[in-house]
Amino acid sequence: MHTKTEIMERLDELNRASPPEYEGKTEALFEPVRAAVETYFTSDGVFAHDAQYTIHQLAGDIMTRATKYEHQEKMPDPPTNFPTGYENIADLFIGGSAFPEIVTIDVETFVEAYYEEEPEAGGDEGGDEGGGEPILHNPYLEKWAGQIAGAREGELAGLDAICQFCDSGGYNAGLAMLFEELGEVVESLSVNGLAQRIYTEGEWYALITEFSLPVYVPTIIREEATP
């Protein structure tokens, strides 16, 4: 799970690597990205609700898949086209694809992307040929600011895709449980195992913590996280 601290520290590192000739000019380019990161790592009621509902749906789907019956052959095969975030929610919350690039981009590649653009001439008719100081750009910073600022809509859509995926398999399995003689349960997943699968392996606890979401966390997970 990418964290706010990780991203901010990496941005600082990239800024420190900026060419000396641009000293005093690069900070303004980083500010929109930092502002987007600050906003990104916040939550609201919609985000919290959707996170709660997704965990609930995941719990049912994972438990259904893990439960085996004497006559398991009568159960329909569950769908396997897992959406992004089903196995690990950290795969979905990547700042609109900006975070992986921020933490992995080669410093030299980033620095080489800086360029200056001459400002447009004055607006008066037959106006000035010069327009002042050259304007500094870095396409990476401009791209990242936009990706991060627009990321939440896609992430909420991703949570909805996970829920719909769980529903598609759950309804089918439920019908089989209603109409088939499946016999005794011969294999299942413990409650603690389910909690570990979702909150630890699936990194939901990391997401809840990083975004300060008011979402339930099982006692066993909280105790394990306490030093």
One-letter amino acid at 225 equals A
Pairwise CA distance, residues 62 & 201, whole Å: 13
Dump pLDDT digits (tens) for 53-70. 999 999 999 999 999 999
Average pLDDT over residues 152-162: 98
Dump pLDDT digits (tens) for 11-32. 999 999 999 999 889 999 999 9
Q: Which residues span the domain enclosing 48?
A: 4-225
Q: What CA–CA distances, in Å, run from 91 to 4, 95, 97, 198?
A: 16, 10, 10, 14
Q: Look at the chain and report how many structural domains it folds into.
A: 1
Dump pLDDT digits (tens) for 100-153. 999 999 999 999 999 999 887 654 444 455 567 889 999 999 999 999 999 999
Contact 2, 209 (CB under 8 A): no
